[in-house]
Structure 1
Amino acid sequence: MQKHIFIVYTNAVEGRDDEYNNWYDDQHLNDVLKIPGVVAAQRFALSYKQRLDPPFPWKYAAIYEIETDNLDDVITPLKEWIGTDRMPRSDAMEPHREAYFFHPITTRREA
């Protein structure tokens, strides 16, 4: 099986971080994990220390690990389910987001 990661950058609507994080952590991650081929999910918040200077456009990132030989088998449900009962969307999330699929081009190295 080909491995991929899907990285999604998002923000909460101003003043609604708690509602946004509760929805993302308690519902959305689980909804995405129901898609065949999505094998793991984890969220991240922007660290206070950064190598570069602000502004930083994204406060949150989610990384999904995917194992599939046909990425369309993951992309199609993502497109079809989002905003439905299978994958409700929260209005506490800013509508603009960025999301990209990547596949490894080297072996994993460890220190």
Structure 2
Amino acid sequence: MPRGIMYVESAPVAPDREAEYHKWYNEVHLPEIMAIDGFVSARRFAPLDGNGPFVAVYELDTDDLQAAAQRLFEAGQSGQMSSLELLQMDPPPVPRLYREIYATEPARET
């Protein structure tokens, strides 16, 4: 099965709403995305220096990566997902879809 990731940079709508943004992202938004067929894991990252956007990396495991991304887009457009009011929209988050081209496994202890 093809594997890939979706990489998304985002930021809270305002600095004073950052805690609310993280709570919504972790407790509402991630579960909504994980309910979409093809999405199998999600991780979030913060910049070490505190400057710049937050990053979400979603792992996909599906026969058609584009179709999974389309299902996510359609869920958002249909109102099946929560409001994005806590996300900074200028500039808007831009999802980037990547296909896996190589992977290694951790070394086994002998």
TM range, normalised to the smaller chain?
0.7 to 0.9
Determine whether 1:72 maps to 2:54: no
- Secondary structure of the equivalent of 2:87? coil
Count of aligned positions: 104
* Alignment CA distance shift 1:47-1:99 (3 Å): same
Q: CA deviation at 1:33?
A: 0.4
Determine whether 1:105 maps to 2:101: yes
Range that drifts further, 13-22 or 2-11? 13-22
Give the 5 Å matches for 1:27-106: 27-48=28-49, 58-82=52-76, 84-95=78-89, 96-106=92-102
- TM normalised by structure 1 equals 0.82
Cα distance in 1 for residues equivalent to 2:82 and 2:74: 11
Cα distance in 2 for residues equivalent to 1:2 and 1:82: 24
| 1:37-88 deviations in Å (ceiling 9; x for gaps) | 1000111111128xxxxxx6x4201010001111233122211111554211
Contact 1:29 1:41 in 2 (8 A): yes
Give 5+ residue unaligned stretches, structure 2.
none
Contact 2:3 2:65 in 1 (8 A): no
- TM normalised by structure 2 equals 0.82
| Regions of 4+ moved over 4 Å | none
Q: CA deviation at 1:25?
A: 0.4
Aligned to 1:3: 3
Give 5+ residue unaligned stretches, structure 1.
50-55
- Secondary structure of the equivalent of 2:95? strand
